[in-house]
Amino acid sequence: SSLLTTGDPHLKSTIEAFKKSDLNGKVKLVCGGAAVTKKFAVDECGADGYATDAVDAVRVMKQLLEIAA
């Protein structure tokens, strides 16, 4: 989660590092927060999902993992 736009440049590199690691395909990355949009997190950086806050992140993760809410 990000509250400041100063973290934006690091989001893409962090996601890329996960995708190049042995964790690729084993973890889901959900990004969000006040300074992040769905377009930026998912479309531009490659996150698996976007959430507006921590509660929303649980909902999104359940959808990604196909767990009944």
| Helical ranges in 1-69 per DSSP H | 8-20, 38, 54-64
Distance CA 16, CA 69 (A): 29
Domain count, the chain: 1
The backbone torsions φ and ψ at residue 30, rounded to the nearest 5 degrees and listed phi first, read -115, 125
Task: Determine the average pLDDT of the residues in 3-26.
Answer: 86
Q: Structural domain of residue 15, as residue ranges? A: 5-64
In a domain, 69, yes or no: no
Give the pLDDT confidence score for residue 1 in this predicted structure: 63
Give the pLDDT confidence score for residue 69 in this predicted structure: 57
Residue with more model confidence, 5 or 40: 40
In a domain, 40, yes or no: yes
Give the pLDDT confidence score for residue 6 in this predicted structure: 67
Give the pLDDT confidence score for residue 9 in this predicted structure: 80
In a domain, 23, yes or no: yes
Per-residue model confidence as pLDDT tens digits over 25-69: 899 999 998 888 999 999 999 999 999 999 999 999 999 999 865
CB 42 within 8 A of CB 8: no
